[in-house]
Amino acid sequence: MSHYIEPAEITRQKDFLNRIKEINNNFYVKNGRKPLANTETYGCQQNENDTERIRGMLYEAGYDFCEKAEDADLVIYNTCAVRENAEDRVYGRLGILKHLKESRPELIIGLCGCMVQQEHIVEKIKKIHKHVDLIFGTHALYRLPELLYNTLKERETVIDIENCDGKIFEDMPILRDSSDKAWVSIMYGCNNFCSYCIVPYVRGRERSRAPEKILEEIKELVSDGVTEICLLGQNVNSYGKDLEQDIDFSDLLCMVNDIPGVQRIRFMTSHPKDFGDKLIDTMAACDKVCPQLHLPFQAGNNRVLREMNRGYTKEEYLEKIRRVKEKIPGISLSTDIIVGFPTETNEDFLDTLDVLRKVEFDSVFSFIYSKREGTPAAKLDFVLSEEEIHTNFNKLLEVQNEISKRKNDAYVGKTFTVLVDGVSKNNDEMLSGRTDTSKIVNFKGDAALKGKYVRVKVTEAHTWSLNGELAEEGI
C-alpha cells in the first residue's frame, strides 16, 4: 500500500540502530554505564504515542532513560504546535538546556514533532538556539536512527523537516509507558482544516493503518498484560476512508471488541460532523467500549462554527448528543472549547454557555484562541479585547465547574469497577484509578492492586475527582 514506508527502508533504519548500539557499547566501556536519554512530550496523545516509539528505538540502540535533562547524554523534546503556550514552554526549556550544553558540550539536544514541522520555527531555532543538534519533523520520525547516527558521527547539526502528505511505518520498536493501558494509533493526519488549527499542516493528510496491523498490535499488547486500549486518531470517524477494504471506524470497534483479553476500549477524537447513528449503535452494542465520549464542539454560535469550518451547527450537535444520551444512558461526555475566536462577540459566546448548560458535560477542556501562522483564521481581526476574552473564559470555567461537581455528586454512594492506575500522584497513601466513564477515583489500598480491576464505593465528590473505599476485590 502506497501509504507505507517500504520494509527495505525499515530494515535500513534498524541497521542504523545497530550502528548506534556499537557507538554506545564503546561509551559503556569508557564510562562504565550506558548513555542516558531524557525524553519530554508536549501536546496530545498522538505525541505521547510517538514518544513511546522514540523511546523504543533509543532503548534498542542501547540507551537507558533518566528523569532529568541534567543527568542525560541525549535529550529529545517531542513538541506541539497547537497553541503558542505549548511552543513557549519548549523555548523556555531550550534556554535552560543552553547552560547545560555549555558545561557539557557532548550533550546531544534533539527537537522533534509538530512545532519543528514548521519552517519558520526551525529558522528561528537555528538563529537563536544554536545549541540544538538534531531537528526532525513528524514525517521523519522513522528516520530517527539514521539522523541520530549522523549526529553522533558528524557532531554537526542535523535537520530533517521534509514536508509530505505523510506515510505510515510499522514494525519499529516501541517502549510503552504503561503495562496496563495502551494508546494504539489507528490513523494519522487530518483533512479537516478547521480555520484556526495547525494540525493538518504539521501532520499531513489522513491515512489509516491496515486493520490487521492494528488488531495484531492489540493482540500482542493483551499477551503482555494490557487490558485497556485507547484508539487514537485526529478524527477517528475518518478511519478506513482511504483503504481499499470496505471498513469504517464502527467496524473496527467491533473487531477490537471481539479480541479476548481486552476489557476496556476508548477512542479519541471523534469529529461531530462525522459522528452518527452507526457509531452510537456500535458503542451501545459493544460491551467493552466504555460509556464515554469526547466530542469537541469548539463554539456554540453557528456563524462562528461556520468561520471555524467545522461543518455542523449548534442544533445538529445538540441533536447528536441527545441521541447518544438516549442510546447510552449514563454516558460521560467531554468536549473541547475555544474561547475568543477572532470574530466571536460577547453575544456569540453566550451560545457556547448555552451548549454547556444544555449538554451538561462531565468535563471540558477549554482553550483561549491562539493565532497560528499559516492558518486562515490568522488573517482575521479580533472583535474582543484580551481582557474581554479572559472574562468569558473565566465565566466558562465557573459555569462548567458547577456542572462537573454536580455530575460527580451523582456518583456518591454507588459502587463502580475501577482499573487501578497505581499510587496516587498527589498522595502516596492513596491509590488512583478510573471508572469506565473515565472518572478519577482515589481510595486506600495495596499498591499491588496496580493494573487490577476492583470495586470501589464512592464516598465523596470533588470537581475533578472522586474519593472512595474498596468494596470487594476483583470484578
Residue 288 sits at the vertex; the CA angle it makes with 226 and 269, to the nearest 5 degrees, is 85
**Contact partner, 145, from ligand SAH, ligand F3S, ligand SF4, none, Cβ < 5-8 Å per class:** none
Which is nearer to ligand SF4, 142 or 297 (by Cβ)?
297
CB of 367 to ligand SAH, least distance (A): 4
**Measured CA distances, 236 to 101, 262, 308 (Å):** 41, 19, 20
Cβ partners under 8 Å of residue 185, min gap 6: 46, 49, 209, 232, 233
Which is nearer to ligand SF4, 17 or 199 (by Cβ)?
199
CB of 194 to ligand SAH, least distance (A): 7
Helix or strand run (H / E) with residue 244: none
**Contact partner, 249, from ligand F3S, ligand SAH, ligand SF4, none, Cβ < 5-8 Å per class:** none
Binding of ligand SF4 at residue 193 (CB under 6 A)? yes
| Residue 368 DSSP one-character state | E
* 74-103 residues near ligand SF4, rule: CB under 6 A: none
**Contact partner, 200, from ligand SAH, ligand F3S, ligand SF4, none, Cβ < 5-8 Å per class:** ligand SF4
Binding of ligand SAH at residue 234 (CB under 6 A)? yes
Candidates 56, 166, 173, 200; binder of ligand SF4 (CB under 6 A) is 200
Binding of ligand F3S at residue 44 (CB under 6 A)? yes
Question: Across-strand partners of 387?
Answer: none
Which is nearer to ligand F3S, 55 or 203 (by Cβ)?
203
* Distance in angstroms between the alpha carbons of the first and the last residue of the chain: 43
With beta carbons less than 8 A apart as the criterion, state whether 406 and 362 touch. no
Bridge pairing between strands 440-443 and 431-434: antiparallel
**Burial environment of residue 4 by CB neighbours within 10 A (0 to 12, 13 to 18, 19 or more):** middle
**Burial environment of residue 212 by CB neighbours within 10 A (0 to 12, 13 to 18, 19 or more):** exposed
CA 380: distance to chain centroid? 28
**Contact partner, 46, from ligand SF4, ligand F3S, ligand SAH, none, Cβ < 5-8 Å per class:** ligand F3S
Which is nearer to ligand SAH, 370 or 417 (by Cβ)?
370
Strands (E), 139-263: 158-160, 181-185, 187-188, 207-208, 228-232
Cell of 215: 488488531
**Contact partner, 83, from ligand SAH, ligand SF4, ligand F3S, none, Cβ < 5-8 Å per class:** ligand SAH
**Burial environment of residue 88 by CB neighbours within 10 A (0 to 12, 13 to 18, 19 or more):** exposed
Binding of ligand SAH at residue 101 (CB under 6 A)? no
Q: Which stretch binds ligand F3S (CB under 6 A): 199-207, 341-349, 367-375, 459-467?
A: 199-207
Binding of ligand SF4 at residue 194 (CB under 6 A)? yes
Total residues at the site for ligand F3S (CB under 6 A)? 12
Binding of ligand SAH at residue 298 (CB under 6 A)? yes
Binding of ligand SF4 at residue 271 (CB under 6 A)? yes
Cell of 368: 483561549
Cell of 345: 462577540
Which is nearer to ligand SF4, 234 or 432 (by Cβ)?
234
- Given the rule CB under 6 A, which residues bind ligand SAH? 82-83, 196-197, 199, 234-235, 269, 271, 296, 298, 336, 338, 367, 369-370, 372
- Given the rule CB under 6 A, which residues bind ligand F3S? 43-44, 46-47, 80-82, 114, 198-199, 202-203
